[in-house]
Amino acid sequence: MASPRVTVTGGGGFLGRYVVASFRDRGHDVFVPRRVDYDLTHEADVMRLYADAKPEIVVHLAAVVGGIGANRTQPGRFFYENLHMGTMMMEHARLRGVRKFVGIGTICSYPKFTAVPFKEDDLWEGYPEETNAPYGLAKKMMLVQGQAYRQQYGFNAIHLLPVNLYGPGDNFDPESSHVIPALIRKCTDAIDRGASEIVVWGDGSATREFLYVEDCAEAIAMATERYDGAEPVNIGAGFEISIRDLAALVAESCAFTGRICWDTTQPNGQPRRSLDTSRATTRFGFTACTPFKEGLARTVAWYRQSGPAEAGRHRHRQSGPANAGHHLPQK
């Protein structure tokens, strides 16, 4: 039998390009809608997308995203556009008889003070961290919608919660990049200028978990093939690192030997983030395989080879709803 046709929204973005490659390697015919052709915040465009692509499987990666600064200045946009895209993409998938809908959520949906490691059953134990709550809650509604549609219509929707991503092709634009690419750019720019220090937001006490982008793409493909449950599933690497230790490690990888100064007038974001990834292992056999230092070295090498101009070009490809593949804020 031919492999099912797959549509990947956000397939032109950071994570999306790797997801598309993973499905194509498996023999799928993959359709990637472009922002210029389909604005997924407009229902008419969503309907036309389904009519044109005729997907059997939909992987919904597209999102409007940003770091702490962007979330603080555009909370209304982040809520409205992400909510509309998810709601309409799933509703019209149901109406068109799509075989499976894979919703990609965010760990920004977890409560601010979730016990570490984050377990999927803790998603409803409190309100998300304030700076990204509108984004996190909008994405969380895909989980609610999918479970409701499964109950009423027998619709096969699954919900995955990837941790913070990094890797070659990330967004290094200083106005919108997340923590790892931001640190890499700060360090390399400081070396080029001969600067003796870099400034990093917060006090360095917050912790994060990071997953190499290729590993995440593999997890999404595996879940699409093997998982059909109503319960959300964390996708992570299973380790935790403080932002202070991360900054030192990035500086080492970039060969930056200057001082790291902390701007404590700026927020830390959520105090801690680290996932319990056992459900992904037991339900569809995923375990991250890229060591963090190795993945970080590959990312630094890509940025040095590509340079700021190419990194900025990647950012612009991600800027619209249908192309915003990097929908996982690393705050």
Confidence category of residue 321, pLDDT binned at 50, 70, 90: very low
Confidence of residue 313 (pLDDT cuts 50, 70, 90): low
What's the pLDDT tens digit per position in 172-209? 987 778 899 999 999 999 999 999 999 998 999 999 99
Average pLDDT, the chain: 91
| Predicted local confidence at residue 312, as pLDDT | 55
- What is the average pLDDT across 216-237? 98
Q: Which residues of 245-282 are buried (b: 16+ CB within 10 A; e: fewer)?
A: ebbbbbbebbebeeebebeeeebbbbebbbbbbebbee
Tell me, yes or no, if the pTM score tops 0.85.
yes
Tens digit of pLDDT for each residue in 140-159?
Answer: 999 999 999 999 999 999 99
Summarize pLDDT for 107-124 with one digit per residue, the tens: 999 999 999 999 999 999
Rounded Cα distance between 55 and 62, Å, is 16
Q: Which CATH superfamily is domain 6-169+210-239+271-290+313-317 in?
A: NAD(P)-binding Rossmann-like Domain (3.40.50.720)
Distances (CA, A) of 275 to 110, 114, 122, 211, 287: 10, 10, 11, 11, 13
Q: How far apart are CA 179 and CA 68, in angstroms?
A: 10
pLDDT computed for residue 273 by the predictor: 87
Residue with more model confidence, 191 or 306 = 191
Average pLDDT (242-263) is: 97
List active site positions: 135
